[in-house]
A and B are shown apart, each in its own frame.
Chain A
Amino acid sequence: MGVTRRQLLRFSGMGMLGAVIFAGCRIPDREFIAESPVLIPEDLVEGQDAYFATLARPSTGVESVLVRVMQGRAKKIEGNPDYPMSQGKHTAQAEASLQELYHPDRIATPLRRVGERGSGEFESISWEAAMGELQAKLSEFSGNPGSVAMITEPLRGALGTVASRFASNYGATQMAFEAVDQTVVRAALKNLFNQDRLPIADVKNAHYVLSFGSDFLSNWHAPLHYNWQYGEFRGTENGKRGTLVQIEPRFSMTAANADTWVHINPGTEGVLALAIADVILKEQTGNPAGMEALRDVIEANAQDLPTAEDVTGVSQAKIVKMARDFAEHQPGVAIGGGLAAAQTNGLFNMTAVYLLNALVDNIGKKGGLLFNPEAPLKDVESSAAASSLVDFQRLADRMRTSQVNVVLVHGADPVYGLPGALQFRRAMKDNVPFIASFSNFMDESTAMADLVLPDLVPMEGWGDDVSDPGPGYESIALQQPVVMPFVDVRSFGDVLLATAEGLGGDMTRGLPWNTMKDAIRSNAEELFKLNRGSIQQYPSFEEFWIGVLQRGGWWDTKATSKDSTKAKVDTIPGQATPTFSGAAAEYPFHLLPFMSHSMGDGREANLPWLQATPDPITTAVWSTWVELNPQSAKELDVREGDILEVTSPKGTIEAQVYVNPATPPNVVSIPMGQGHTFFGRYAEGIGSNVMSILDAVSDADTGALAWGATRVKLTLTGRRSRVPKFEGMVVPRQLHERPVYQISKGTDHA
């Protein structure tokens, strides 16, 4: 049957009509996205906020931050984009200072001990009563001022000045405590270059970085700033991607990010550094003047390559390659610290490492080692060295012979952090008549106190800091209160100033201020008079004061160090080879403790965000684990989660096994930071304190704790429990032909 013309027109007309109707009935685009009549998150209207520049003081180093404040509550920490050490960035630890501020276990009022000492039983008292008691005790012992010991964290800035003048006016013994101190590095830099302040390595401009044990991406010196520099170092902005070589007996976070990780026998870093120097000298690839000046000392101390290989465990070929690369790829820089300094021959190691910089003459130059000048203010401490283990040993001995009557402790927890072998807790508990703590949390040392005068947290009070290390030029960061305290606490500095006033006489010498705010302001007036640097040419001080607070500090990029960059060294102090506590036959493993990436030496174990932050390498959280080589685990017949007893000549702790493919066979590693008996709900009763089994061995020359020099043995307990960790939480999505992690060997680098 044929189709007539009329039929064809009718069909096509109907078809077109259908198409129009269909199109007309189409659901509009918007309807596909079903909209709710109530607010959806992207439509939320937020309130007014304000940002203030101040300081966060995590254990990883002081950071200049901006705090977002809404209705009097601090909401968010952000890095200060202006301040040279911060560059708008901040660490996990700085962020977590918000939890310190609003912590449910903060000490809310002054406390007086009611229970037995160390039981943690206290009653609330008024500030007037607390200040009265403190003053009465200090008056009582003013005839024997040396029997009063003031233990603080290493204090810089105006508070450093206030504390040290208070102590010296009174005649008290002043100590600075840091569980992992920089004493050895500081001593080496003092001997070599006459520097009191830590230098900064100009990693961002370097082509080659040789790092001996300094875990600068995790916890060493200024990790935030070094991470930022590392980003620039890796970037192609400089036209060249830098090479990082990490020399360390443990696979640290920095080793994980290095181009090459060179595994070395513990404590032999100095031998390696000298072998590298010797190759540079023999091949005449260093700086001519530098080589000439150091020739005698290197030749007298360097061992020949086969011996160096034997001692360090690093092959001769690798030593020669490092020497050639370091000399060839200048600017380059050599830094050292961490485990390399934490040995009985720490000073030998550090002196040998920092010598390398003088050999290639990179000091004060782009991509090299930059010295930091002192702050241009007379009332501000620029550097703060910690007291050594030997100093604390002496203090403990004086306590035991009843020569210490009063201990004042602030910002430091020596009862938790000193090696168990020192018996510091017992010495303090049994022999010191009066202990006052200025801590804002009930840590182990505060639990021993008779009187607690809780301090503010940095976001609530005035302060400042001379960045140490600084950016290579003069810089001072300022701290201002951004929220009101919600507990009844007072600034440590203010309490010291008021006590000095109350004691009268010579106590106020050099302390003309009533409060810390006065001290900070009078320092700012001096800065104003300098009329140079980041904030200048303001018509009045008041305007300058607002400007300097808004920007979070003051710095002068032109004010660099004028010190001589020539190394002065006749001999390398100390021994080339280290000694260890515990005989190798009985204690087969080197114990290499490390600062927890998130909680440092334990000062931040009370902050839940940081407890829940996975360790970068093992991904473990909320626990203490012992890292074991897969082969060692097989030989011991243990697997992950088995609980082991780790025994040193000085004690035993328990830890869960974590089998780490990067751990060397003769080494076990345990993170610091856990095992608190006090310190609030998030820290108490978790894991073990590795410091408690360390022997009190120290660097022979400086007396600093050699925390990497204890050997241990492992015993099975027969118990096991799963390791809380991030690893394994999600199913692996790795397909052989489509790896999640892809690596470029550099050919398609763009």
Chain B
Amino acid sequence: MKFITIAGPPSCGKTAVLIHTIKRLLEDDTKVAVGKIDCLETDDGERYKDLGIPVIVGLSGDLCPDHYYVSNLEEILTWAKKNQAEMTILETAGLCHRCAPAIVGCLSVVVIDNLSGIDTPRKIGPVLTTADVVVITKGDIVSQAEREVFRQKIRLVNPEAEILEFNGLTGKGSVRLRKILLESPEVHTLVDETLRSSMPACICSYCTGETRIGNSYQLGNVLKIVS
């Protein structure tokens, strides 16, 4: 079984990239299963189901979607095995990126778009810096020069990753991404594997449902902007 994680900011084109690439994988009869993690609501599951593949959707509700994601990795792998998948692709919620739970030994793909701003590669942290493959979308609507600068900024924070330009409308780039996914490592279990970066501590009263503002309501791991 190949287990691949795909992350990236909201609206960067993760789902479009995946749908085009899965269509390519299905041409070769690769058995693909998709997991989608989100917080409150997602329609992406339906879009994957339209491809006729097994889909599992997890909504984290009140929990951090990335922590929920890590807590369910083994369950998702077991589910995919039951569905005779040869490749499991797990898409993150794409919210804060601070956690970006990429797994050692599993291919990690990040999608980032040319419109997201020139400083984005420097700002988004481990989701980009620990990725094996960086897929850049929306290159068709920005200038050649901006594409080159954006690519260079990505190189600066992640010198090793394979960088791939992808057009989410036409699917241009999907053949290359299929090849990369097919060459990714095999895993049998995720138990005892580790995350590529630690997830930040986030244990304060607001994590447990507090809504009131003010020092007296803030318990646990609290950091102040001015000390």
Do A and B come together as binding partners? no
* B binding-site residues for A, Cβ under 8 Å: none
